[in-house]
């Protein structure tokens, strides 16, 4: 079987657009293709059994039990048929043949494609220590993980969270809300130190300590102890053991690049794409967590592991798949909710790539904006319990111009006047 540039096979049948990875990125890509007027076939293939859903609630409202399951889904069940999208769930794709324009399914079936989009996302890094595969050790990526973890968060239960990143901290907050005793183990000196730097990382350390979390820094996990296959504690490299009824591991994620790599696509910290989200194969695009995409504003490749990226990149990918000159150049954005702290962050800063953090408002009140600056230019801003300021902060980041740092710190000066 061969294909030509018109996307038809030997029999003259029109090949569909195939999307591998049926989560936020994949579902939004199908929607964007239809909204762009594409009338050909769309096959959305995912290995999970749930129809596409969003993950942020899994460590927030859904984990807390305050948000209903129905709220997590990207589209209602009938949306797929109504938009003539063939949704194949519980169907792992095991190979891509770029020359034949086919993907192979786990059951050995094949699906032909005219264009292929990879939205395979990422999966949690595993804790590489003895005992990590026992019962009671959890990773949080899928809806069923969230449900199992919620079950383990009981009043008085001893919960140990390994890793003080976003997932670890949100999980710790949910465990406290459920009345559990929570210890967070982090190998660095502060939570989120690499992402936020010392000044703002301290805000999150104080927040969790004020809510009764036992935060331990410089903690190197050596082993998960247990009895009869069930975890009972975390032994640290310094010999201390923290007793645990449940352990949640949040030590980062790895992009799901295996398929792309085996197909010979360029892979480097994700599937490499140009600014049109096109991979090294012109008929294969990538979007969301898995894509390491060239970003024209920053002049480098960026892999963004956040919801807004998986929401918006598919629109560019869809238009590029349809032959338009679409470019993805949005400024990265993410958010978190922990206890009564809500925050949004817009911008991008290389670890250590700023010279000054400017606060507008007092961080001790947990109602402030922090700006990461370099040579007077705003690289990123984070608004904490302050709302409706993302657009002006994004404009400052995008403009790349130097601003008066005194005025930046002064709440009386509108951000739009800087
Ligand atoms: C618990 C949690 C909380 C989060 N909270 C926030 C937040 O507060 N703010 C924020 O900005 N971001 C947050 N994120 C990140 C955000 O959810 C991700 O960036 C987003 O889910 C990425 O979407 P995606 O579609 O690219 O990939 P994914 O959501 O990872 O989806 C990829 C899908 O592809 C499937 N797949 C992979 N390989 C194959 C294959 N070979 N065959 C078939 N299917 C395959 C996967 O099983 C999965 O269903 C959170 C993530 C998690 C896990």
Q: Is any atom of ligand 1 closer than 6 Å to the C-beta of 145?
A: no
Return the ligand 1 atom nearest residue 309 CA.
19
Q: Is any atom of ligand 1 closer than 6 Å to the C-beta of 334?
A: yes
pLDDT at 156: 98
* d(CA 309, ligand 1 centre) in Å: 11
Return the ligand 1 atom nearest residue 336 CA.
8
Query: Which has more confidence, 6 or 159?
Result: 159
Quickly state the pLDDT bin for 402 (edges 50, 70, 90): very high
Q: Quick one: average pLDDT of 59-75? A: 97
Q: Is any atom of ligand 1 closer than 6 Å to the C-beta of 23?
A: yes
Q: Is 150 helix (H, G, I), strand (E, B) or coil?
A: helix
Quickly state the pLDDT bin for 314 (edges 50, 70, 90): very high
- In tens, the pLDDT along 184-235 reads 999 999 999 998 999 999 999 999 999 999 999 999 999 999 999 999 999 9
Query: Which has more confidence, 49 or 1?
Result: 49
pLDDT at 352: 86
- In tens, the pLDDT along 97-148 reads 999 999 999 999 999 999 999 999 999 999 999 999 999 999 999 999 999 9
* pTM, 2 dp: 0.96
Asked if residue 153 lies in contact with residue 55, where contact means CB atoms within 8 angstroms, the answer is no
- In this structure, the dihedral spanned by the alpha carbons of residues 152, 155, 157 and 163, taken in order and rounded to 10 degrees, is 70
Q: Is any atom of ligand 1 closer than 6 Å to the C-beta of 259?
A: yes
**Who contacts 267 (Cβ-Cβ below 8 Å, separation ≥6)?**
257, 260, 261
């Amino acid at each position: 079987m061969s294909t030509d540039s018109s996307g038809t096979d030997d029999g003259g049948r029109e090949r569909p657009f195939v999307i591998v990875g049926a989560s936020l990125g994949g579902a939004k890509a199908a929607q964007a293709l239809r909204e762009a007027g594409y009338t050909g076939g769309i096959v959305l293939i995912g290995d999970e059994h749930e129809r596409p859903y969003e993950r942020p609630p899994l460590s927030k409202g859904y984990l807390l039990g305050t948000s209903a399951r129905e709220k997590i889904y990207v589209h209602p069940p009938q949306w797929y048929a109504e938009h003539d999208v063939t949704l194949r769930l519980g169907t792992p794709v095991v190979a891509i043949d770029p020359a034949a324009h086919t993907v192979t399914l786990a059951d050995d079936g094949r699906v032909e494609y005219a264009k292929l989009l990879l939205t395979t996302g990422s999966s949690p890094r595993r804790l590489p220590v003895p005992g990590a595969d026992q019962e009671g050790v959890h990773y949080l990526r899928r809806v069923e993980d969230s449900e199992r973890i919620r079950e383990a968060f009981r009043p008085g239960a001893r919960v140990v969270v390994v890793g003080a990143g976003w997932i670890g901290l949100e999980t710790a907050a949910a465990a406290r809300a459920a009345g559990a005793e929570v210890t967070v183990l982090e190998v660095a000196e502060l939570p989120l130190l690499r992402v936020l730097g010392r000044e703002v990382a301290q805000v999150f350390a104080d927040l969790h300590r004020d809510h009764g979390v036992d935060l331990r820094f410089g903690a190197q996990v050596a082993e998960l102890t247990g009895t009869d296959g069930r975890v009972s504690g975390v032994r640290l490299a310094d010999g201390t053991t923290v007793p645990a009824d449940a352990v949640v591991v949040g030590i980062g994620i790895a992009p799901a690049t295996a398929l792309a790599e085996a197909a010979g696509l360029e892979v480097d910290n994700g599937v490499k794409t140009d600014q049109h989200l096109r991979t090294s194969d012109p008929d294969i695009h990538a979007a969301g967590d898995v894509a390491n995409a060239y970003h024209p504003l920053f002049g480098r490749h960026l892999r963004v592991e956040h919801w807004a990226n998986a929401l918006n990149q598919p629109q560019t990918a869809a238009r590029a798949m349809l032959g338009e000159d679409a470019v993805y150049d949005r400024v990265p954005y993410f958010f978190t909710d922990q206890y009564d702290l809500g925050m949004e962050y817009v911008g991008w800063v290389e670890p250590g790539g700023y010279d000054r953090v400017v606060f507008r408002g007092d961080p001790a009140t947990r109602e402030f904006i922090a700006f990461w600056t370099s040579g007077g230019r705003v690289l990123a801003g984070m608004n904490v319990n302050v709302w409706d300021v993302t657009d002006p902060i994004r404009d400052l980041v995008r403009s790349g111009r130097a601003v008066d740092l005194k005025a930046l710190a002064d709440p009386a000066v509108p951000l739009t006047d800087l």
